[in-house]
Amino acid sequence: MSAFLGIDTGGTFTDFVLVEGGRLRIHKELSTPAAPEQAILRGIAALGLVPTGLNGPLAIVHGSTVATNAVLEGKGARTAFVTNRGFRDLLTIGRQARPELYNLQPLPPTPPVPEALCLETGGRLGADGSLLDPLSEADIATLLAQLEALAPQSVAITFLFSFRDPSHERALAAALPDSLFVCCSADVLPEIREVERATATWLNAYVGPLMQGYLRRLAHAVVPARLTVMQSSGLACAPAYAGRHAVNLLLSGPAGGLQGARMIAAGIGCERVLTFDMGGTSTDVAMIDGELVLTTEGRIGPYPVGVPMVDLHTIGAGGGSIASVDEGGLLHVGPASAGARPGPACYGLGGTLPTVTDAHLLLGRLPAEARLAGSLALDRDAAARAFAPLAAALGGLSVLDAARGVIELVNAHMHQALRVISVARGSDPRDATLLSFGGAGGLHVCELADSLGMRSALVPAAAGVLSALGMLAVGPGRQLSYSLRARLADVEVRVLLAAFERLVAQGQTELAAEGVTAAELAVARSVDLCYEGQSSTLNLPWLEVDTLTGAFHAAHAARYGHRLDAPVQLVALRVRLQAAAPSVDLPQHVPPTHAAACAHSAVHGVPDPVPVWQRADLPAGLALPGPLIVIDAISTTWVAPGWAASVDGHGHLRLSKADCAPRAESAKMRVDLV
């Protein structure tokens, strides 16, 4: 019997979900950012999985925010950027976008790569693929001498139009020492748009040594278990491939969360959900309408990332987000986070700054007797001490009023993020379900749903570890692309089909090396299109050319509210190859035969103590009116006044506005329970 283990490494906790024989076990460890594999190995040992599964082979799927955090914190490898003569400032200039449109004296942004590490050489192609400046032996010798003097850890090679002919990039890469981590833009992102291609290649080189080293150590340590890694596109791959293509891991953890949300939503027949993943450091939001949506216009911090990734919006607001007051007396929450250590003040690990988690504890929404991750006791006095200076800086507010202000401000940030992913894209959230997960999500879900006019919400049974559970819902695969810019009406279909087949063959070859046969793969073909003269594209499934033109007009009108009388231009071909996910049997919720007694706790702003229920003690189908608190080993849910909560047959917590909540079977039963 096989065991399946999903692992999600976050900024604060590393989550584990083990499924074996219809039994699900959950575990959490505090993350170890300096060496992420240490927390993973401790968790595996705590689950009794060393050196194999409990009763058979062990399959591990791992997702991580390690690459993302390295980029955002500026802790990647010392990287040299090599490009053609005259273009060394390519990354520094970028698209010349101004983040503050009306600032007449903007500060220049810090260049991604210091000027001294930006090098030039030959090998330049024209837009048609013709050679304009050859790469000579003298060029290579000069570059080798420069790199020896600069002593970088990695090298990012980006030549102009190299997606048309990658031979010059690869020739240079072959001449560089084996001690360097070297990547070519033609391998990382073989697409038009030099800035995006160069940035993706630099990011790959910047975090590649870090990811390659830790994944290699992890894969070796868990032998004989089979380890695969979640990519930003929602597909799994082997550790060796992941280490070489680290830019594809920048949304690895969040992709697992969205896969888990899609699986949960599909399992209960809920097609359209707005997802809300609040962890310790950040909050990710996305819209799922049946399938995950991918984008090639994502960003990590200030950097564009052209590789395919799940389409979500991220803000620096989490349970560990630090509250502060600026010189003008204005309250801020995040993006700085207390992280795993020292963490929020209430963790008792040395933290002294006020955080969102401390605010919930002070307000009573997080009961003082709760145990985070099943074992971490909370220190309310430490939270109060952390909030006292903040309350004083806010004009002498009480500690409780300051805590309430922090919650209202972080809710406002997350409300805006949810609008960006829904309303700003022409999608009305009111007829969707707000699916909340992450360790801190349930504490905010009702107020956020209210702010968007939503009538229903869902907190899954494994909400606190849903990203780790989602790792088990994917199979191995590849997302490949090829730039082919031309008017759609002028392109020969046989040329397109031949290009598609080359991509399919490439993906099949790569996956065969990971033990996946061509017969196991489902293949989806799509194209990026735009109107001639536009820079933004829309991705549509491949159809006959005439049908595709009409489909693009309709898609453009649906997204932007209008269509143009202009030629449709083809920009890129894309192929997605995916094997089926392993069959993982999740346990069913077994409701209690009778309701257990519940505790009560004082909550700031509520006149009477509110019921505090263990989720496992709630009978399936019974609606309990808020305010109340529902806790389990890995998450806490605050059911606000005006909302009602019930547990379904899967163990998921269904939340609805009280006027549309399902009725209890009898009034007497409700009295007995409450």
Q: What is the mean pLDDT of the chain?
A: 87
* Cβ contact 118:93 at 8 Å: no
Containing 484, the helix (H) or strand (E) segment is: strand 477-487
Strand order in the sheet with 13-20: 23-30, 13-20, 3-9, 58-64, 226-230, 236-237
pLDDT for 583? 73
Q: Which two tokens stand for residue 160?
A: 């102009």
Can you tell me the distance from the alpha carbon of 179 to that of 420, in angstroms, rounded to the nearest whole number?
44
pLDDT for 528? 94
Note the residue count of the chain.
Answer: 674
Q: If DSSP codes are grouped into helix, strand and coil, which group holds residue 592? A: coil
Q: Which domains does the chain have, with CATH numbers?
A: 72-213 (3.40.50), 476-579 (3.30.1490)
pLDDT for 589? 65
Q: Which two tokens stand for residue 332?
A: 């801020």
pLDDT for 673? 30
| Tens-place pLDDT, residues 39-53 | 999 999 888 886 555
The DSSP letter of residue 587 is: P
Residue 670 identity: R
Question: Of 505, 483, 508, which Cα lies nearest the Cα of 496?
Answer: 483
Q: Over pLDDT 70: what percentage of the chain?
A: 93
pLDDT for 297? 86
Can you tell me the distance from the alpha carbon of 91 to that of 97, in angstroms, rounded to the nearest whole number?
12
Can you tell me the distance from the alpha carbon of 92 to that of 64, in angstroms, rounded to the nearest whole number?
28
> 3-state DSSP: the chain helix, strand, coil percent, rounded to 5?
35, 25, 40
Can you tell me the distance from the alpha carbon of 306 to that of 47, in angstroms, rounded to the nearest whole number?
38
Can you tell me the distance from the alpha carbon of 477 to that of 46, in angstroms, rounded to the nearest whole number?
31
pLDDT for 520? 93
Can you tell me the distance from the alpha carbon of 246 to that of 142, in angstroms, rounded to the nearest whole number?
29
| Tens-place pLDDT, residues 320-364 | 889 999 888 899 988 888 876 788 988 888 889 999 999 999 999
Residue numbers in the chain where pLDDT is lower than 70? 1, 50-56, 340, 372-375, 584-597, 659-674
Q: Which residue has the tokens 């829309």?
A: 538
Can you tell me the distance from the alpha carbon of 188 to that of 204, in angstroms, rounded to the nearest whole number?
8
pLDDT for 651? 83
Cα 384 from chain centre: 32
Q: Which two tokens stand for residue 178?
A: 């084996």
Can you tell me the distance from the alpha carbon of 590 to that of 648, in angstroms, rounded to the nearest whole number?
10
How wide is the angle at C-alpha 462 spanned by C-alphas 348 and 357, nearest 5°? 30
Question: Helix H segments across 128-251?
Answer: 137-150, 167-175, 185-188, 194-221, 239-244
